[in-house]
Amino acid sequence: MSYATLLFAIDGPVARITLNRPDKLNSFTAEMHGELADAFTRIESPESGARAVLLTGAGRGFCAGQDLGQRRGGEAPDLGHTIDTTYNPLIRRMRALKMPIVCAVNGVAAGAGANVALACDIVIAARSASFMQAFSRIGLSPDSGGTWTLPRLVGPARARGLAMLAERVSAEQAASWGMIWQVVDDDKLAAESGALAERLAAMPTRALAAIKHALDAAETSTLDQQLDRERDIQRELGRSADYAEGVAAFLDKRAPVFTGR
């Protein structure tokens, strides 16, 4: 499949999406949003065989948020419409996707680019990468879920500082604050993030999807509700082929072979 703004391939069980407008630090355009939506439709189709997604950027940046080049002058735009039709569906889709998304942050992740990265399940960044809630610099407030995600990841005090001051935060700082999973040397990012995606793709996919759902749902649930949810999830997973295989492999003292069923 060929796109104008993305590189996309489903490589066995790993779907690889590379934001590919390197001259503009892979900033989002309407075209890129359309292509991302199409790529996720392909990933979600049962025939795709995908069991994990790896998202990264081409060139020296990960993503600089909305392409501001398309925004100068003219009438005041309805940014609510842009968000309703592009960013919000993207974030909702990523969180609802029934498989893990690994984000390999290869360079600066700014504005919506930062929050799309943080909406992934496991974020691994190159040591030279950075994160910036750039919004307040241009008179906006974080979107793409940032006001929901940030306080949960780093706590309210840091979330406020990040959103208001819009300073660049290094990958190491982001990791030490718990914003991301891991930092690796720049020359190791592709191999390490690829290996992580392969590893997740060989795991019990339904269990990983359930973990993703349970942790998100927990954010707005009481302990009581969450205990019930965990029971329901376990009931369902207990009937899965991967659970049967996991237990059998443990008892046989062999490595399990999960199929995602």
| Nearer of residues 140 and 249 to ligand LHQ, judged by Cβ | 140
Q: Give the shortest CB-37-to-ligand LHQ separation in angstroms.
A: 16
Residue among 18 and 27 whose Cβ is closer to ligand LHQ: 27
For 128, phi then psi, to 5°, come to -85, 0
Residue 30 or 227: the one with the smaller Cβ distance to ligand LHQ is 30
Residue 215 CA, chain-centre distance (Å), reads: 14
DSSP for 61-78 reads EEE-SB-GGG-SSSSPP-
- Measured in degrees and rounded to the nearest 5, phi and psi for residue 131 equal -125, 140
Q: In the complex, what is the shortest distance from the CB of residue 7 to ligand LHQ, in angstroms, rounded to a whole number? A: 18
Measured CA to CA, the distance from residue 205 to residue 210 in angstroms comes to: 9
What does the block give as tokens for 63? 């993503």
Beta carbon of residue 98, minimum distance to ligand LHQ (angstroms, whole number): 27
CB of 75 to ligand LHQ, least distance (A): 14
The nearer residue to ligand LHQ, 72 or 235, going by C-beta atoms, is 72
How many other β-carbons are positioned within 10 Å of the β-carbon of residue 24? 16
**C-beta separation of 174 from 180 below 8 A:** yes
Kindly report the number of other CB atoms within 10 A of residue 128's CB atom.
15
With left for phi above 0 and alpha for psi between -120 and 50, is residue 166 left, alpha or beta?
Answer: left
CB of 175 to ligand LHQ, least distance (A): 19
Residue among 142 and 246 whose Cβ is closer to ligand LHQ: 142
CB of 106 to ligand LHQ, least distance (A): 13
In three-state secondary structure terms, 169 is strand
Among the listed residues 119, 112, 93, 98, the one whose alpha carbon sits nearest the alpha carbon of residue 52: 98
Nearest Cα to Cα of residue 114 among 197, 27, 43:
27
In angstroms, what is the minimal distance from the CB of 153 to ligand LHQ?
18
Instruction: For ligand LHQ, give the closer residue by CB, 106 or 240.
Output: 106
Contact criterion met (CB below 8 Å) for 35 and 1: no
Q: Which residue ranges make up the site for ligand LHQ (CB under 6 A)?
A: 24-25, 27, 64-69, 79, 82-83, 87, 108, 110-112, 132, 134-135, 137-138, 140, 143
Cβ nearer to ligand LHQ, comparing 9 with 68: 68
